[in-house]
Amino acid sequence: MGDIIADLKEKQDTWASTFEWVPKTMGDYTLHLESGEVPEGYRFFYYENDRGCRWEALYDSGVGDYTVHVIMPLFEFTDINFSLEDLDNYLEDLKTRLVPGMTKLVIEPSQNFTYAYKMKGLDTWDFEKALPPKVGDFVRDIDPSKAIRMINGSFIIAEYVHPADRSGLLLFYNELRDEFFAELRRHNYPEINHQLDAKTIPNLEAVLEHELENVLSDLTMRL
């Protein structure tokens, strides 16, 4: 792993020309051609928006793959669709799939909605009352119309973020288990919460009405 990073660092001056084809902007994301060693391995470039969300192209020394990391305020994950062991194949794959792949994942995530997600009615759900834009200090920055598709059949359908801390709430729908559930983040540490468990949208609306403000108020008191 160290030898690979050393080789990539030796090519530091070439990456700007290698990635000159990369779009300067993608939706509300701006390109940063800042190559170099990072704790995860070696980063080639990244996109970032004004909410601090990132899409990073890098070599991940932990798994030995060239891949993509997606970093959101309360969660991060690897887009395994880009994971390859060979650098040349990875660079060619980026040329072909960067624009459609990033668009589908974070720019227009509705392109990633599955048949099960739509059959559940989540793509047409009038969620504004159940999931208001702001609850106490927490701001909603993901909603069911822009849900992020994860692995294992899960979608993040809502995210409430504290503006001054990596704390908040993530609301999931898992299409394999056909259920809704939530996780809290307290100073970026996960906490399980069962107060928002539900099986149907009407059931979810009911628990959100009675519990969402209480859950986030309790979290605020523990920050």
Asked if residues 184 and 191 have their Cβ atoms less than 8 Å apart, the reply is yes
Q: Are residues 179 and 138 part of one domain? A: yes
Give the domain range for residue 137.
Answer: 112-221
Q: Are residues 88 and 155 part of one domain? A: no
Q: CA-CA distances (angstroms) from residue 157 to 41, 46, 76, 91, 134?
A: 30, 24, 15, 32, 15
Asked if residues 167 and 188 have their Cβ atoms less than 8 Å apart, the reply is yes
Q: Are residues 136 and 122 part of one domain? A: yes
pLDDT tens digits in sequence order for the chain, 223 residues long? 568 999 999 998 899 899 999 999 999 999 999 999 999 999 999 999 998 899 999 999 999 999 999 999 999 999 988 999 999 999 999 999 999 999 999 999 999 999 999 999 999 999 999 999 999 999 999 999 999 999 889 999 999 999 888 999 999 999 999 999 999 999 999 999 999 999 999 999 999 999 999 999 999 999 8
Domains held by the chain: number: 2
Q: Are residues 35 and 99 part of one domain? A: yes
How far is 56 from 59, CA to CA, in rounded Å? 10
Asked if residues 43 and 8 have their Cβ atoms less than 8 Å apart, the reply is no
Distance of CA 68 to the CA centre of its chain: 11
Backbone angles phi and psi of 175, in degrees to 5: -75, -20
How far is 97 from 106, CA to CA, in rounded Å? 14
Last residue of some domain: 82, 107, 132?
A: 107
pTM: 0.89
What residue has token string 């190559």?
35
Asked if residues 195 and 207 have their Cβ atoms less than 8 Å apart, the reply is yes
